Amino acid sequence: MPCGLRVLHLKLEPKNAQTRAGSAVLFNTLKAPLLAMIPRPELRDIEADNLATRLLDVLVSRQLGSGQDYELTPAEVRNLLAVSPERVREHFAWLLWRLQSDDTPGDGQLAAKGTRWRELVGPIFERIWPLDTRLRTERASRNLVQMAMNTDDAFSEAVDAVLDVLAPYELYSLEHTCHIPEGSMASF
């Protein structure tokens, strides 16, 4: 498990699919206050991160076909990301990177990274990520580049998906992220 953290662990029971977000009935009841709370500035980072993780759990279970009872749409998450502090977008980008790069997929996850991008992470990313240039940050961009770097044979598709939402960041950081020999980008 990367970083000692399982980004996603679905507990799928035959009658009642459930994610770490709780039962669908509980989630649907609390969804409106949850979506209203995440963008609030008084919410601590750890609390916002925890709630954002639950939202991704629901999106993943819906994408995999096991969470159709959860009433959360990609448009709701995209709107949430657009009005939330940059820290929430950065954490969401980190979650997507970890989900894409996880070498030990859990129940229902796709093992091959190219397939995982095409059938799970890519569709979620493309539906939720806001396109507004004012919302782009260096940290979120770094996480999205890392996500794309972990797509194996779907790399060109991932680059096409993230290219228009990246903010420029330091060349030395890009060299490190992309494992480019130091100084190779000096002419840029």
| Domain residue extents for the chain | 2-177
User: Exposure pattern of 9-37 as b/e (b: 16+ CB <10 Å)?
Assistant: ebeeeeeebbbbbbebeebbeebeebbee
pLDDT tens-place string over residues 5-61: 333 333 333 334 456 768 999 999 999 999 999 999 899 999 999 999 999 999 999
Residue 181 — pLDDT band, cuts 50, 70, 90? low
pLDDT tens-place string over residues 68-97: 999 999 999 999 999 999 999 999 999 999
Maximum Cα interatomic distance, the chain, rounded to a whole number of Å: 59
Task: Kindly tell me if the per-residue pLDDT of 185 is higher than 60.
Answer: no
| Burial (Cβ within 10 Å: 0-12, 13-18, ≥19) of residue 118 | middle
Counting residues of the chain whose pLDDT is more than 70, the rounded percentage is 75
Give the three-class secondary structure for 11: strand
Given a contact cutoff of 8 angstroms between Cβ atoms, the answer to whether 97 and 150 are in contact is yes
Tell me how far apart the alpha carbons of residues 58 and 79 are, in angstroms, rounded to a whole number: 16
Residue 188 — pLDDT band, cuts 50, 70, 90? very low
